[in-house]
Amino acid sequence: MEERQVQDTTVKKDSFAALRYKDFRAYLGMRFFFTFAYQMQAVVIGFYIYQITHSKLALGYIGLCEAIPAISIALYGGYIADKYEKRKLLFLIFSVVTFASLTIFVVTLQSMSHYVHTGWIIPIIYVMIFFNGVARAFYGPATFAIYAHSIPKELYPNGSTWSSSAWQVATILGPAAGGLIFGHWGITPTFVIINILLIISMVLVYLLKSYPPVYIPKESIYESLSAGIKFVFHNKMMLGAMSLDLFSVFFGGAIALLPVFAHDILKVGSEGLGLMRATSSLGAVLTMLAMTRFSPMNRPWRNLLIAVTGFGVSILCFGLSKSFYLSLIFLFTEGAFDSISVIIRSTIMQLLTPDHMRGRVSAVNSMFIGSSNEIGAFESGSAAELLGTVPAVIFGACMTLVVVTVTFFKTKNLIPAKLSDIGTPTEKQSG
């Protein structure tokens, strides 16, 4: 017991503890380059489509095209992730995303010809985004399972911080690079770089060790998927964290409307759009780096409620701002508060999920969280079309604060909970 306490103390003091594991480093690099490419592509496609259509609803359709398949087959993706070897599955996923990216690259290249009508380009882009949504339904459960086995359980909070930081750094550099390269050199060199980064991430997949399945289903697929759903819905803290994130992101999805702010309201062009997307992520990554030393897990549920409240207030202030630089400040704080909620929720998920259910539980999480950004983008685009851009953002921020208030009164008993109160059911029983 004394030896374990000494080990735990050492882990807490070592901010680089998770990085000392080779497989975790490979996982981190893979996630970084894939996210970098994906974020570059997202900002370029958003601005490109808005340039052609000048339609806010068209921006919402981007999110909808990705969310429909991601939600529809998420549970099956979790079932497959539990059942099959993870490295091969990831390589197949990255191949699909690379194919979609190359196709978008080719059709946008054709659009530059004076002899080609651009009316057919947008539908093809939407179809490729749909393919990305299919790939995402499998990506989340597969990476969730790989992360869980790449480091010991006592390093989950530290690993979650580094994993989220890598993701946030990529979301800083990706949109900024995408906006700047697209603004200065056009869409062709931008997509060349995107595809190079996707290929690098595929190479890093092969540096991972093999992850054979820990779950061989004997029951039917329906019974297997039902078990994952029941597990989540019977766990109050896990369900509460997912629900809070779902509704706050759904209503607070102002990021989807950034092309409108950049093009029409703040008039800063694609370069300004890249900076706005990057500033949000900069706030997130700096906060996450601070959390490698100052963990938010001392009172996780209390801190989660505070973080989502700060997120809602930041979105509200951003919607009211008429200054580009003031808008950047509010996007910075939005990213900072969002990163705290990401760390808390992901750590809770890892600690509460048994190994044999990681794929299916992650799939349920993807249905709640993974596609909430895309559904929120559709909600924001639709609301902006009906109410106007600024009123839509203000409405969404206010709804986020309402969600937090209702959640606070519904979950008062969870507020005093400490990290030591969280553990998988197996661990609780053995303890």
Place of tokens 């102002």: 254
Q: Collapsing DSSP states into helix, strand and coil, what is residue 117?
A: coil
DSSP one-letter code for 263: I
pLDDT, tens digit (0-9, with 9 covering 90-100), for 413-422: 777 766 665 6
In this structure, the number of other CB atoms found within 10 A of the CB of residue 188 comes to 13
- Predicted pLDDT of residue 215: 63
- Predicted pLDDT of residue 422: 61
Find out whether 101 and 41 touch, Cβ atoms under 8 Å. Answer: yes
What is the architecture, at CATH level 2, of domain 20-209+222-430? Up-down Bundle (1.20)
Which ranges of 73-208 does DSSP label H, i.e. alpha helix?
A: 74-83, 86-111, 121-150, 156-185, 187-205
Closest listed residue to residue 350, CA positions, set 75, 214, 80, 147? 147
C-alpha 151: how far from its chain's center?
21
Is residue 323 packed enough to be buried (19+ CB in 10 Å), middle (13-18) or exposed (0-12)?
exposed
Residue 344 CA to residue 287 CA, distance in Å, equals 13
In this structure, the number of other CB atoms found within 10 A of the CB of residue 357 comes to 22
Residue 173 CA to residue 163 CA, distance in Å, equals 16
Q: Collapsing DSSP states into helix, strand and coil, what is residue 1?
A: coil
| Residue 230 tokens, joined | 């029941």
pLDDT, tens digit (0-9, with 9 covering 90-100), for 363-380: 777 666 655 666 666 777
Residue 144 CA to residue 335 CA, distance in Å, equals 22
- Predicted pLDDT of residue 113: 56
Find out whether 57 and 122 touch, Cβ atoms under 8 Å. Answer: no
- Predicted pLDDT of residue 335: 87
Ranges of residues in the chain whose predicted pLDDT is under 70: 1-14, 111-119, 214-222, 224-225, 252-253, 356, 359, 366-377, 417-431
Residue 26 identity? A
Q: Collapsing DSSP states into helix, strand and coil, what is residue 301?
A: helix
Residue 413 CA to residue 222 CA, distance in Å, equals 34
- Predicted pLDDT of residue 37: 93
The model's pTM: 0.65
